[in-house]
Structure 1
Amino acid sequence: MPDFDVVVIGAGAAGLSVAAISAGLGLKVALIERGRMGGDCLNYGCVPSKALLAAAHAAAAARDAARFGIRLPPPEIDWAGVRAHVKGAIARIAPNDSAARFRGMGVEVIEASAHFVAPDAIEAGGRTLTFRRVVIAAGSSAIIPDLPGLDGVPWLTNETLFDLEEPPGHLLILGGGPIGLEMAQAHARLGCLVTVIEAGPRIASREDPELAEGLRASLVRDGVEFREGVKLVRVEQLEPDSLAAQAGVVAVLEDGSRIAGTHLLLAVGRAPRLAGLDLTAGGIESTPRGIVTGADLRSVSNKRVWAVGDIADPRGIGPRAFTHVASQHAGILVRSMLFRLPFTKVSYAALPRVTYGDPELAQIGLTEAEAREAGHTDLALLRWPVAENDRAVAEGRTEGLVKLVVGKGGRLLGAGLLAPHAGEMAGMFGLMIGRKLPLSALAGMVLPYPTLSEAAKRAASEFYTPKLLSPFTKRLVGLLKRLP
């Protein structure tokens, strides 16, 4: 008889959810974690990055207060205080993810590395554990590029960035994706020099160009410098007698230019944590993108195995490295693994993603380019500028745009938002796309005034305006006015 009904490898967002639900349903569960409980999101990602951004936005608000008639001295950045805020946010949330809490649920928490020794057995902490089902939720880590000179200079990833005891003098960021852009704005607003190096033609390459350009403009105003469309070919240790004596690393670009900085942050993407699991011994098929699963997240080669979160690579769908995807996966896993419900499948049609800059850039569903690539040709593009929103005008935050991608019959395919707190509006569009609600549901929604959400409603209403003001409608109203 197996030792456990369910063994979960990884105590991040997905693993914790699966372990809690499985134990709550009366199953015998083991949870294996070699690092910190809570995984990347709590300790190195979502929580500390948003806490740092909150401090940075507070500094920016103080500098900008004069436009409201509030005169303040320039903010003084207490780096130790900023770090205390970041660590305090982690500490406040940590008990929810703690080993003690899960042991209280009846989960056996094993703080060790794990690897497969057979298709139905794992070794962890010097013990061999047999199982009926295993859930691999080991997550992902920052990609370390094969870059000449990297082994001779200090560098940072999201796992070490928040440990800096002193602020970077000049932070060089390799990568213009969400992590790179968020940390660029945070550090620039906290008084650091920041340069972002992006090999692709533009930053935020997955996002709609109209929206990405607005975010870029905001970061430029904050003092962030960009080098786009140029590759970093090597890095060097700064010579002690250099004029930039405070710098510690030099980035050498393919055009021959050299940029000296004090710190180098690697933010070029993430890779699944496959090393050390010995998936071959478990009979588990994988690719460099993760563990190959069906749309139900079950391994295609070992029916005892499921994968969730960043490490899952569903066939025909691909991986997604978001904490909210890990939570979505956990829900799918409960239905497919525990309740054996058929036709339980992953779908990213309504998946939101947010770059938490200021303003925030949110995308739900397809961008215009993605919709065209998917074969949608009869598209309507609806736009409403944030500058036309009364709440935005009242608060002096008028930068941004709502852009809706609408297919045949008024079906909403995607929504792109560049606005303050755009992520808070994402759920509205996720519900519409996920439930296939007609655009009229949003256009006819009664929203409190004044709110930024009204910009979304006004964009949706643009779909119906041409019909409302058509010659036929005008003639009809002309006839109806004769009625008593």
Structure 2
Amino acid sequence: MDKRKKIILLLIVSLVACFWIFDLGQYLSLSYLTEQKDAITAYQQDNPWQTAIIFVLIYIAVTGLSLPGAAVMTLAGGAIFGLLQGAILVSFASTIGATLAFLASRILFQNAVQTRFGDSLKTINKGVEAEGAFYLFGLRLVPLFPFFVINLVMGLTPIRAATFFIVSQIGMLPGTIVYVNAGTQLAQIDSLSGILSPGLIFSFVLLGLFPIVAKRIMDILKSRKALAAFNKPTSFDNNLVVIGAGAAGLVTSYIAAATKAKVTLIEKHKMGGDCLNTGCVPSKALLRSAKMAQYARRADEFGLKMEQPKVDFPAVMARVHNVIRAIEPHDSIERYTQLGVHCIEGEATIIDPYRVQVNGQIITTRNIVIATGARPFVPPIPGIEQVKYYTSDTIWDIKDAPKRLLILGGGPIGCELTQAFSRLGVAVTQVDKSTRLMPREDEDASTLVEQQFQKEGVTLKLGYNAKAFTAENGQYTLICEKDGREETIAFDTLLLAVGRKANTQGFGLENLNIATNENGTIRVNDFLQTSLPNVYACGDVAGPYQFTHTAAHQAWYASVNSLFGSFKKFKVDYRVIPWTTFTDPEVARVGLSETEAKAQNIAYEVTRYGIDDLDRAIADSEAHGFVKVLTVPGKDKILGVTIVGHHAGELIAEYVTAMKYNLGLNKILGTIHIYPTLTESNKYAAGEWKRAHVSAKVLQWVEKYHAWKRHTPVEHNQSALQGRSISD
């Protein structure tokens, strides 16, 4: 705690202590006010300005220090100054005092609370930033809520002080008027509890509920206004139409059908979307073949003598397509039809929020979910049109192994394909404008991957800006620049892996005038609604994450909110989102990285365990990598985990579960892990944290205890030993 905070805290504690030590509360009682009313009134008549100033200062002190007596002071305002002047004085004094308490809470405790519980408070903070004034207003209207608690709690949130002041001023006014008016009839008041009758309390409760009801009504009116321009059918063919049969669309449809809704799923290309046909499945199949080739090259490490592998590239690609075909039934029209989904192959066109046209037929629907995914981004580099390039969508059509492959992009897709093609015998040059691979990950993770790539013969050109492509006599070159120096890279085949762009064109989205974000994704709210309340979007087309598992995660919310949102809507939970880059070594992460924690000014501790020390990793000749856990300082609460190593994508699952259900490192340490397995690395990481947080003072006392036990004579019960032989 800095010097300023210490001074403020000392001042507050001193003033509060004086209040109780000198029993100042006796002067803020109803009985004292009743006894002294005439004297106070007389003084006020002789000194009106001084009395008003003294009254306001005392009121500010009482509310600012959260002392009991504000209700009596409010009555005093009516008794001394009358309804109009009393209401004005009390209104401003109470708001100023409340704001001082708010600021004191913010200065003294906000950073500590947000640092310690920031991860849990993200949703609350976001809600306060969006609608904090609205909910504060509702609370202020109901005198049943202790206002001093509201002052202190709101100080811990991100709401602006000016907003707090204005809303408090307005929200407390009705209750202030009631109390000040009662004060004008002070002689008739026996107790504070008598001021608010049950009927009056009920009225205030209704008044507090009014903003919530009003907001609900406004939402309904806003929804109707957004849809007013469109002709709503009197009946509907479907409860839900889903456009796009990738991960997001499939799961959305499956959930809708499971709830017995009538749902139509439209796909213009292939069921399964990118993940099955051009993304996760083929890339992992390719990586598996590449890893087998690499293991063959490492045969000597395992005591085996064998020739260097000869890669049959067409056979490798044939295996990739065989894997796709083997998984296709999982996402097929036949399977989803059996599940109750009406599947249509064709290009969908959204006519309006209620109608979708496909294959010349117009389908009416109460709700639409857009799950059209994303496509590889093609950068506008001069000369690129002269080069036959591939993307992560089209590279699977390649038949023969490239001789010199240039991969543009150092993110997860670029890195996975770089290593896969390199291990399959292709000379690969990887170029990226970032100074390191996988810039979203911490530098220590990137470094291990870069070292492995260089060890395997990949040519890395990091920190290079691609300036232009040239094509001459069938020879392709890339002109790039680094630190002001140009360099030319010759290649035969180009693979672009510089990101993906949301698919928002070609299916009538422009007919709806739906807003998009700067990055091209469809703008949705916390419930995945677009600017039209019955049109939802999920998956890559909506973001913010472009992973198959997050698309499936969003799909539940899109399906449930679209079908049952009139009763209850659910905000998407993004608190624990894991991912893995399937290079070798794999890089897996969940939660915060060190880089992000520093950028967001979040306090953290780092615990690190080197997998090179793990028995199973040594036995498998995969003794490399690390487990890095970020925790709240002094606590075992997990903020984020990065794992680099063999099967890191499997190891991270334990931490995903722990973070989801608020389990700390002590729980992981206390869980039995099978020996010898790679999962023991998670337990050993927890053990490293525990060892670093054992109290040195406690260990000193334990050491003294053991020493005392060694030097304390043992008392034998001789009588118990008498009569017993050795055989006994």
Common fold, TM-score beyond 0.5? yes
Q: Is the 8 Å Cα contact of residues 120 and 282 (structure 1) preserved in structure 2?
A: no
Q: Which residue number corresponds to residue 245 of structure 1?
A: none
Q: Which residue number corresponds to residue 298 of structure 2?
A: 64
Structure 1: 4+ residue segments shifted above 4 A: 480-484
Counterpart code for 2:410: G
Q: Is the 8 Å Cα contact of residues 32 and 113 (structure 1) preserved in structure 2?
A: yes
Task: For 1:10-409, list aligned pairs within 5 A.
Answer: 10-240=244-474, 248-254=475-481, 255-287=485-517, 288-299=519-530, 301-313=531-543, 319-340=544-565, 342=568, 344-377=570-603, 379-408=604-633, 409=635
Cα distance, 1:477 vs. partner? Answer: 4.4
Counterpart code for 1:396: S
Q: Is the 8 Å Cα contact of residues 240 and 563 (structure 2) preserved in structure 1?
A: no
Cα distance, 1:24 vs. partner? Answer: 2.4
Residue-by-residue CA offset, 1:369-419 (whole Å, 9 max, x unaligned): 112223312x11011111111111111111111111112432101100101
Q: Is the 8 Å Cα contact of residues 13 and 39 (structure 1) preserved in structure 2?
A: yes
Residue-by-residue CA offset, 1:178-204 (whole Å, 9 max, x unaligned): 000000000000000000000112111
Instruction: Output the CA distance in 1 between the equivalents of 2:550 and 2:321.
Output: 25
Q: Which runs of 5+ in 2 are unaligned?
A: 1-234, 715-728
Instruction: Output the CA distance in 2 between the equivalents of 1:19 and 1:335.
Output: 11
Q: Is the 8 Å Cα contact of residues 355 and 361 (structure 1) preserved in structure 2?
A: yes
Instruction: Output the CA distance in 2 between the equivalents of 1:283 and 1:338.
Output: 23
The answer on 1:427 being equivalent to 2:617 is: no
Pick 1 or 2: higher relative contact order, CA cutoff 8 A, min separation 6: 1
**Does the residue aligned with 1:336 lie in a helix, a strand or coil?**
helix
**Does the residue aligned with 2:391 lie in a helix, a strand or coil?**
coil
Instruction: Output the CA distance in 1 between the equivalents of 2:510 and 2:398.
Output: 38
Instruction: Output the CA distance in 2 between the equivalents of 1:385 and 1:344.
Output: 41
Residue-by-residue CA offset, 1:2-38 (whole Å, 9 max, x unaligned): 1211100000011111112212222111111111110
Paired-residue identity, %: 36
Instruction: Output the CA distance in 2 between the equivalents of 1:228 and 1:179.
Output: 16
Counterpart code for 1:338: L
Residue-by-residue CA offset, 1:24-75 (whole Å, 9 max, x unaligned): 2221111111111100000000000000000000000001011111001010
Instruction: Give the one of 449, 458, 468 matched to 2:684.
Output: 458
Which structure's residues are more often helix, by fraction? 2
Counterpart code for 1:176: G
Q: Is the 8 Å Cα contact of residues 353 and 367 (structure 2) preserved in structure 1?
A: no
Q: Is the 8 Å Cα contact of residues 38 and 98 (structure 1) preserved in structure 2?
A: yes
Q: Which residue number corresponds to residue 662 of structure 2?
A: 436
Residue-by-residue CA offset, 1:398-455 (whole Å, 9 max, x unaligned): 1111111112432101100101010001211111112121221112221001111111
Instruction: Output the CA distance in 1 between the equivalents of 2:239 and 2:556.
Output: 18
Counterpart code for 2:427: L
**Does the residue aligned with 2:506 lie in a helix, a strand or coil?**
coil
Q: Select between 341-350 and 180-189 the one with higher mean Cα deviation.
A: 341-350
**Does the residue aligned with 1:415 lie in a helix, a strand or coil?**
strand
* C-alpha distance 15-481 of structure 1, shift in aligned 2 (>3 A): farther
Q: Is the 8 Å Cα contact of residues 283 and 302 (structure 1) preserved in structure 2?
A: no
**Does the residue aligned with 1:179 lie in a helix, a strand or coil?**
helix
Q: Is the 8 Å Cα contact of residues 33 and 113 (structure 1) preserved in structure 2?
A: yes
Q: Which residue number corresponds to residue 243 of structure 1?
A: none
Q: Which residue number corresponds to residue 316 of structure 1?
A: none
Q: Is the 8 Å Cα contact of residues 350 and 364 (structure 1) preserved in structure 2?
A: yes
Counterpart code for 1:449: Y
Instruction: Output the CA distance in 2 between the equivalents of 1:339 and 1:119.
Output: 17
Cα distance, 1:343 vs. partner? Answer: 6.1
Instruction: Output the CA distance in 2 between the equivalents of 1:385 and 1:238.
Output: 50
Q: Is the 8 Å Cα contact of residues 277 and 324 (structure 2) preserved in structure 1?
A: yes
**Does the residue aligned with 1:286 lie in a helix, a strand or coil?**
coil
Q: Is the 8 Å Cα contact of residues 419 and 453 (structure 2) preserved in structure 1?
A: yes
Cα distance, 1:353 vs. partner? Answer: 1.2
Instruction: Output the CA distance in 2 between the equivalents of 1:65 and 1:154.
Output: 37
Q: Is the 8 Å Cα contact of residues 479 and 488 (structure 2) preserved in structure 1?
A: yes
Cα distance, 1:469 vs. partner? Answer: 6.0
Cα distance, 1:342 vs. partner? Answer: 4.2
Counterpart code for 1:385: G
Q: Select between 392-401 and 404-413 the one with higher mean Cα deviation.
A: 404-413
Instruction: Output the CA distance in 2 between the equivalents of 1:466 and 1:430.
Output: 23
Q: Which residue number corresponds to residue 4 of structure 1?
A: 238
Instruction: Output the CA distance in 2 between the equivalents of 1:290 and 1:367.
Output: 25
Aligned residues: 470
Counterpart code for 1:221: K
Instruction: Output the CA distance in 2 between the equivalents of 1:329 and 1:453.
Output: 29
Q: Which residue number corresponds to residue 202 of structure 2?
A: none
Q: Which residue number corresponds to residue 474 of structure 1?
A: 700
Residue-by-residue CA offset, 1:288-339 (whole Å, 9 max, x unaligned): 431111122122x1110111111114xxxxx110001011112223443334
Instruction: Output the CA distance in 2 between the equivalents of 1:343 and 1:453.
Output: 38
Q: Is the 8 Å Cα contact of residues 256 and 560 (structure 2) preserved in structure 1?
A: no
Cα distance, 1:150 vs. partner? Answer: 0.9
Q: Select between 354-363 and 327-336 the one with higher mean Cα deviation.
A: 327-336
**Does the residue aligned with 1:281 lie in a helix, a strand or coil?**
helix
Cα distance, 1:228 vs. partner? Answer: 0.7
- What is the Cα-based RMSD across aligned positions, in Å? 1.6
Instruction: Output the CA distance in 2 between the equivalents of 1:436 and 1:249.
Output: 54
| TM-score scaled by length of structure 1 | 0.94
Counterpart code for 2:316: V
* C-alpha distance 264-395 of structure 1, shift in aligned 2 (>3 A): same
Cα distance, 1:80 vs. partner? Answer: 1.8
Q: Is the 8 Å Cα contact of residues 367 and 563 (structure 2) preserved in structure 1?
A: no
**Does the residue aligned with 1:302 lie in a helix, a strand or coil?**
coil
Q: Is the 8 Å Cα contact of residues 253 and 559 (structure 2) preserved in structure 1?
A: no
Cα distance, 1:481 vs. partner? Answer: 6.2
Cα distance, 1:111 vs. partner? Answer: 1.4
Q: Is the 8 Å Cα contact of residues 257 and 340 (structure 2) preserved in structure 1?
A: yes
Counterpart code for 1:128: I
| TM-score scaled by length of structure 2 | 0.63
